[in-house]
Structure 1
Amino acid sequence: GEGEVPDFKGSNVRVLRSGNWRREMKNPKEIVLVAFYYKTFSFSQKDYKSLAESLRNYAKVASVDCANEREICKQEGVSRRSLKKGAVMKVYPYKGHNAPIAFSSRRKLTKISLYKFVESNIPSFVSLLDSKKAGAKFAKSPNRIKIILLSNKAKIPLMLKALSKDYHNHLDFAFIPKNLPNPKKSLSENGIDLTVKGSLPAVFIYQTSIRKNKQYRGALRYDEMKKYLKTLVKRMKRSKDDL
């Protein structure tokens, strides 16, 4: 509940202390949401645990009790005074490239607003194909395997953002929003046919080197797609070694 001494044991919330702060935060492989609080947790523990669960593939969710970890809180610019109004939430960017971003105190703190806050700060290496020009540019981009997600929705899904972060060194990712016809047309003119079998969303894998395109038939879930892309990248590396 709110206003209680939190217990995050057995949940996906990482409890940060002076002993593990540096290890967890020095060069994170994903972004980290940290809730700084003083003794009692002003936000719903249940919601925070649930948030950690729903973001587990995309971001770390952590907590720091400033009553015990004064040095960390001082170092991170979280004063006892700032905690009087409740927990201070900050997002620490991927690989620690930039300064942490604080959740605006003007916004209402809810599970949904926190989820959106984290989501908006997750790095994306996905090309948004929302015009014929963008489609043509992507189609003509370097000789790599392309992963194209076609959807009725307008926003790049979190799953695709996270996969692009994991594999952008090997694969090119693109998203066609609202099933727009123009980018599909320009891809088709460049040999990438996106005729969907079944319903949307649909993912296509295009091998530029052999001009071969196929629709991904597995489950559109992060863990399933990650497994598939991992195998794909391994195969790519093997075939390069064979050349």
Structure 2
Amino acid sequence: LNAPPRWSCRVATLAMFLRLAASLCGVATSAVVIDAMKHDIQQIQAGSFDTIIGKFRDDAVSAVWYYKESNAADEKFLDEYQKVAKELKGIVKVCAMDCERFAKFCKDVGVGETPSVMIYPPNPQPSYALQGELTSKRITNVLTKSVPSMVTSLTADNEAAFLTSDPSKPKVILFSNKPKVPFMWRALSAEMVFKRTIKFGFATEEANAELAKKFKVKKFPTIVMQRGGKGEQKEMYSGDINFQAIHNWVNLYSESGMGDKVAGAAGGESGSDEAKPWLIQDIPELTGPSHN
């Protein structure tokens, strides 16, 4: 049976209403949703800013994306920023703050239009808003360049001093067939605890052939660790070459308080950090210090 004309009209009107409602609902639910299960971005609040970022400014590099939850441009930017967070996970703090919830804080730090990304390099460098196009590649590049390096590039002249000074600190060396210290190695050396308790070295196949032979390095890249007061313990790393895996391995030998100077018998600081090259010489040269 055909429906009466008035019912057909009502059905058409109802369908139009439902489409409109669905459309309106779509607009209303169009928002920035940072899901801890899907994203590597750390959400912060005005009250937690100092705890998460401020107190670590002396040691760490951080980024904060200031966004407005209902802003379509911010919703579109979410995936781009997630690429940064995923690539730098565990290395750089990649955070976000909602300026609709914390409007005063955003205003105080100078945020106007969003998306806005602020870079927080180590002190004394000031924080700044990244200008221009906000792409994941550009943001990642800026952050990686902001990470300081505590790596010693090894040469024939400084190898012995590196290996024998600070005997309480394990020495970790990356042997590479490339000339430049990679970002991952810089980031490990600058890690808040490692920078005080571990010494990181960088050796190349071309410049450090004898050192590579001493450590029985046959392929590049290879990572080795030397431990013990006389460098008697040597271990070759066999895990994955990525930040977190290497961090976990090095962390096994990083102890809080290592590398702190100890008072000597006369009350002054002991010379435990002085280089003692005779400890690794095949035939130690007899000197005053080596005789003691």
TM norm. shorter chain > 0.5? yes
- Which of 150, 158, 162 is residue 138 of structure 1 equivalent to? 162
1:36-90 per-position Cα deviation (integer Å, ceiling 9, x unaligned): 2345245631121232122111011112233332221222122x2xx2xx52222
Inter-partner Cα distance in structure 2 for 1:17 and 1:211: 47
Inter-partner Cα distance in structure 2 for 1:235 and 1:14: 27
CA contact (8 A) 1:136 1:183 kept: no
- Which of 204, 207, 224 is residue 227 of structure 2 equivalent to? 207
Matched residue count: 218
| Aligned residue type for 2:251 | K
- TM-score of the superposed pair, with normalisation by structure 2: 0.64
Gaps of 5+ in 2: 1-29, 259-292
Inter-partner Cα distance in structure 2 for 1:236 and 1:158: 26
CA contact (8 A) 2:66 2:117 kept: yes
Identity %: 21
The DSSP-based 3-state class of the residue aligned with 1:61 is strand
2:151 matched to which residue of 1?
126
Inter-partner Cα distance in structure 2 for 1:181 and 1:127: 16
Gaps of 5+ in 1: 238-243
| The structure with more radius of gyration | 2
Quickly say closer, same or farther: Cα 1:75–1:184, change in 2 above 3 A: farther
Q: What's the CA shift for 1:142? A: 3.0
| Aligned residue type for 1:223 | Q
Inter-partner Cα distance in structure 2 for 1:62 and 1:49: 10
Identify the structure with the greater strand proportion. Answer: 1
What aligned pairs does 1:174-185 form with structure 2 within 5 A after superposition? 174-176=201-203, 179-185=204-210
Q: What's the CA shift for 1:126? A: 1.3
| Aligned residue type for 2:221 | P
Quickly say closer, same or farther: Cα 1:65–1:147, change in 2 above 3 A: same
Inter-partner Cα distance in structure 2 for 1:206 and 1:27: 33
CA contact (8 A) 1:91 1:100 kept: yes
Inter-partner Cα distance in structure 2 for 1:236 and 1:195: 31
Q: What's the CA shift for 1:149? A: 0.3
Matched, 1:158 2:186: no
Inter-partner Cα distance in structure 2 for 1:151 and 1:171: 19
Quickly say closer, same or farther: Cα 1:227–1:15, change in 2 above 3 A: closer
Q: What's the CA shift for 1:173? A: 0.4
1:240 matched to which residue of 2?
none
1:143-174 per-position Cα deviation (integer Å, ceiling 9, x unaligned): 23210001123432333223222412111101
Q: Compute the RMSD of aligned alpha carbons.
A: 2.9
Runs of 4+ off more than 6 Å? none
